[in-house]
Amino acid sequence: MGTWGTAIKDSDAFADIYSEFFDLYNKGGQPDIISKKIVDDKWEILEIEEEKNSLWFALALAQWETKSLDPKVLSTVEEIIISDADLKIWLDLGASEQYIKKRKIALEKFLEKIKSDRPKVKPRKREKLKTPIFAIGDCLVFKLTNGNYGGAVVLATDNNPETGYNLVATTRLNQNNKPTLKDFENAEVLICNFGQWKDKVDVTWYMPDLFYKDYADSYEINGNITVELEYEIKNYDGKGYLFKPSWTSGWSMNYSAERQFESELTKPKPSKILTIKQLTKKVKWLKVF
């Protein structure tokens, strides 16, 4: 499962499906052919209880925006929402009553939206060259629902104009005051054991596509620290790294942190510890003569 917020778009699975649909649509693809390709290619998501609904929600919204909503997809989404099947998944994952209420409202508004008539088809966009949102070493601050500040550190950039990813490590910062550079340098990396995660290090390559539209208001840069290590985007398995990276277009570091901290109210935090220093500083060995 990727990171989640209560809004329909606030899951990595949704963001990835929605982004892929419009990547193909903007290149001239037909909605029905794109939809079939996505279902065929992403069939494994439909076998993951925590993520399968996000596929149908993303597909339904993309089809609605292109005035091609398949009645079968609409029926599937309607059944998921009316039966409270999605809310049951959240309950099973230990979501709080507050989260459940917010999610229910979001689901009902979403169903109402896609059952309405969209005035016109969303126009295709010209493909633009992509650049990473942030620079290596940028320290990102975000607010948590408890009123505290959380944070993340940018470890790498991908300068391929077709992708433009940033590699970001979410931290365990959770404090009253806005984090200083020293706080970031001394922070632990967020390791997730909520839901189905088992000590998953939260270090992810984030696509730039949806940032300014859906996530820019959630994050601000609060300085920059030195990153001495280099990370390669083609190292899919994280060989030689202290983590295995993930990929997504949903910038949901804040929700990932919130879900983990909420989970720790009823279960132990992961015993594994990883620090920002370990991911940014080269080990300096003393020479023995």
Report the alpha-carbon distance of residue 203 to residue 224 in Å, rounded. 18
pLDDT (tens place) for every residue of the chain, 289 residues total: 444 578 888 888 898 899 999 989 998 999 999 999 999 998 888 888 888 999 999 999 999 999 999 999 999 999 999 999 999 988 888 888 888 999 999 999 999 999 999 999 999 988 778 899 999 999 999 999 999 999 999 999 999 988 999 999 999 999 999 999 999 999 999 999 988 788 999 999 999 988 998 899 999 999 999 999 999 999 999 999 999 999 998 898 999 999 999 999 999 999 999 999 999 999 764 444 3
* pLDDT in the model for residue 284: 63
Note if the pTM is more than 0.85: no
* pLDDT in the model for residue 184: 98
Q: Are 97 and 80 in contact (CB under 8 A)?
A: no
What does the CA dihedral 95, 101, 103, 104 come to, rounded to 10 degrees?
130
Report the alpha-carbon distance of residue 116 to residue 119 in Å, rounded. 9
